[in-house]
Amino acid sequence: MNNFDQQIAYYTYLFKKHARKNGKKILIGLFALILALTSIRTVGPEEEGVVLNLGQYSRTVNPGLNFIAPFGIEKMYKIPVQRQLKHEFGFRTQDLNNRSLYSEDDFSIESSMLSGDLNMADVEWVVQYRIENSFQYLFRVKDPERSLRDMAESAMRKSVGDRTVNEVLTVGRQEVATNMETLLQKLCDEYENGIRIDQVVLQDVNPPALVKPSFNGVNQAQQERETLINKAESEYNSVIPRARGEAKETIQKAEAYALNRVNGAAGDAARFEALYTEYLKAQDVTKKRIYLETMERILPKIGNKIIVDEKGNNILPLLNLGLKKTAAAE
């Protein structure tokens, strides 16, 4: 027998010797260790512990150190009820050294959607949710996570299918997300899976890769059209009010002119009637007065004046002395 075999035999002898002396202590220690391992459970601050006794629901425990029946009589499931969870559709993120990277796998089977006008759209979205009722989460649905993904995909397809592809890709994105969130929460309540939907976020919405260049061209044309329409409306809003103002001003001037002419004509008519009344009272005197007043208005406007008698024999020129004085002064 060599030295190695002798050492093995020696250590075997020592183990048997101590096992005979301390066998009970070792068994008690092993029993205590197994008891502790199978009965002591720690529930995290964001978790809730659901305890099952022989496969049936027993109780729900709060965060901290908790004790359950040992040796598999009771079993605990830890549910993260205070943590916000999420499901990604159409893409996956990978956390590598605290850096989020997108997976290069193809998830088009999730993201390909048919719109209401029978066009395709590639929709990527995120469902953020919390486990509100741990009992319902564990026992109402066999696979709550899988069922949630199926319901989310179904709700998104319905929301997209109720709208045109232009609405989904442009102005209707927020409406799609809001409608899908409402519909998904309704499905969760109907199935009683204990899940509350916090938010639905449309990560990215694009046309299929094969038609994306054509779609971008159409979008650019629509944007140019909107620009031209806005420019035309701006010019319209600038020109039309000014033209309306000028037209209103012209109308007001015409109305003022017409009113002035009417008032003037009315005044002339009133004056003529008054004069005619006086004429009827004293025709000769009135004729003479009208003649003198008329000559008083006309004669100052005539330059050189020549007065003749009735027979035209005697001519008396009247010099415009005032005009000569003015010329001399100049």
DSSP assignment of 7-50 equals HHHHHHHHHHHHHHHHHHHHHHHHHHHHHHHHHEEEE-TT-EEE
Left (φ > 0), alpha (ψ -120 to 50) or beta: where does 64 sit? left
Confidence of residue 210 (pLDDT cuts 50, 70, 90): confident
Map out the domains of the chain as residue ranges.
3-79, 85-210, 211-281, 285-329
Contact 132, 189 (CB under 8 A): no
Spatial separation of the C-alpha atoms in residues 156 and 112, rounded to whole Å: 11
Q: H helices then E strands: how many in the chain?
A: 9, 13
Question: What integer pLDDT is reported at residue 97 of this predicted model?
Answer: 59
Pair 176, 158: CB distance under 8 Å: no
pLDDT at site 192:
93
Please identify which residue in the block is written with the tokens 């965060």: 63
The terminus-to-terminus CA distance of the chain in angstroms comes to 164
- Of residues 148 and 295, more confidence is placed in 148
* Mean pLDDT of the 36-40 span: 83
Q: Residue with structure tokens 């100049």?
A: 330
| Calpha distance 134→46 (Å, rounded) | 12
> What CATH number should be reported for the domain whose range is 85-210?
3.30.479.30
φ and ψ at residue 172, rounded to 5 degrees: -95, 10
Question: What is the Cα–Cα distance from 39 to 74, expressed in whole angstroms?
Answer: 8
**pLDDT score of 180 more than 80:** yes
pTM: 0.58
What's the pLDDT band for 207 if we cut at 50, 70, 90? Answer: confident
Confidence category of residue 325, pLDDT binned at 50, 70, 90: very low
User: DSSP code of 142?
Assistant: S
Mind spelling out the 3-state secondary structure of 161-229? HCCCHHHHHCCCHHHHHHHHHHHHHHHHHHHCCCEEEEEEEEEEEECCCCCHHHHHHHHHHHHHHHHHH
Judged against a pLDDT cut of 90, whether residue 83 lies above it is answered with yes
Quote the pLDDT of residue 279: 74
Q: Please report which confidence band the pLDDT of residue 320 belongs to, taking 50, 70 and 90 as the band edges.
A: low
| Residue written as token pair 């899976």 | 193
Q: What is the per-residue pLDDT across 95-134, written as a single tens digit (0 to 9) for each?
A: 755 566 777 788 888 889 999 888 888 999 999 999 999 9
Angstrom distances, CA of residue 137 to CA of 104, 111, 194: 32, 27, 5
Neighbours of 137 (CB within 10 A): 21
Q: Which of the listed ranges 2-6, 28-32, 76-80, 108-112 does the model predict with the highest average pLDDT?
A: 76-80
The better pLDDT of the pair 8, 292 is held by: 292
Q: What is the Cα–Cα distance from 86 to 95, expressed in whole angstroms? A: 14
Cα–Cα distance, 56 to 69 (Å, whole number): 13
